[in-house]
Amino acid sequence: MQAVLDAISLGGTYALAALGLGLVFGVLKLVNFAHAELITIAAYIMVITNDLPLVVSFLIAALSATALAVLTELTVYRRLRGTGPAIMLIASFGLSVGLQKSFELIFGALPRSAAVAPWMTGSIEMANLNITIASLVTVGLTIFILLAMGYLVDYTTLGLQLRAASADFKTARLLGVRSNRLITSSFAISGVLAAFVGFIVVVENPQVEPMFGLNITILALVGIVIGGISSLRGCALGGFIVGFILSVLNTYLGNARVYAYSYLFMAVVIILLVRPGGILSKGNEMERV
């Protein structure tokens, strides 16, 4: 039971990371490598403000990640919006590396740590099972955020504009959608999602360093490819699949867990051979969460 909860918990974390990446891609067709640094800055802020109440600390972290996401859109991506996708991709990668070096200058190259939400490191007894509180909180938090995102995309004006822009951005602009406001909103929401991911990860791994969010972002990118990069629901599903498989492999491989990533990417290749466009790829329209 604990292994299943851990797998669901890790899968949910990767689903949130993939959802933030997929949201920006759906509107701007940009693979935002700098999303990793949004997760990192949120984790750093959570560690630095650890003496504050948890809610206040998280709010500061979320505001910081959101501000950084909007700042990158205004100063870098907006200026390059008319260029080709290759230039945008290279700029995204360069921005990611630049932010990593900036974090190294600001926070230092050595890891910084603090016990964030120590109450989540405990466990409870349920039906003769010892279940960690962190896994339960992560599962509950992930379900809540996915439902909230589903409501946002399905039943709000912003969600309608996001889906319209994903289907045909030029036509959406002709119909009155304000492109700058929409793109900035998508970056802001991705910053909030990154803050939730940073919180979940830093609780289990309080050692924060400049490349803290890189690994989860790379695997989340793998997830959105196998889930369907044109679908928000596919992005979340793909991220969940990657996290779930990785957790199961780490649990049951024992001493052979060093090969977990090899088995994971073998599974990814098999999925892509069967569904090259992703599991939920049915077109270019951004589907529901």
In a domain, 289, yes or no: no
Q: What is the pTM of this model?
A: 0.88
Q: Residue 165: is its pLDDT beyond 80?
A: no
In a domain, 248, yes or no: no
In a domain, 243, yes or no: no
In a domain, 265, yes or no: no
In a domain, 207, yes or no: yes
In a domain, 24, yes or no: yes
Structural domain that includes position 10: 2-112+128-223
Give the least confident one: 90-94, 150-154, 178-182, 283-287: 283-287
Structural domain count, the chain: 1
For residues 201 and 14, the answer to whether their CB atoms sit within 8 Å is: no
Give tens-digit pLDDT for 72-113: 999 999 888 778 788 888 999 999 999 999 999 999 888 888
Give the least confident one: 24-33, 60-69, 176-185, 211-220: 176-185
In a domain, 150, yes or no: yes
pLDDT category of residue 66 using cuts at 50, 70 and 90: very high
Dist. CA 250–CA 269, nearest whole Å? 19
Q: Report the sign of the C-alpha dihedral through residues 3, 5, 11, 17, in that order.
A: negative
In a domain, 148, yes or no: yes
Query: What does DSSP say about strands 123-126 and 129-132: parallel, antiparallel, or unpaired?
Result: antiparallel
Distances (CA, A) of 79 to 83, 96, 136: 9, 17, 43
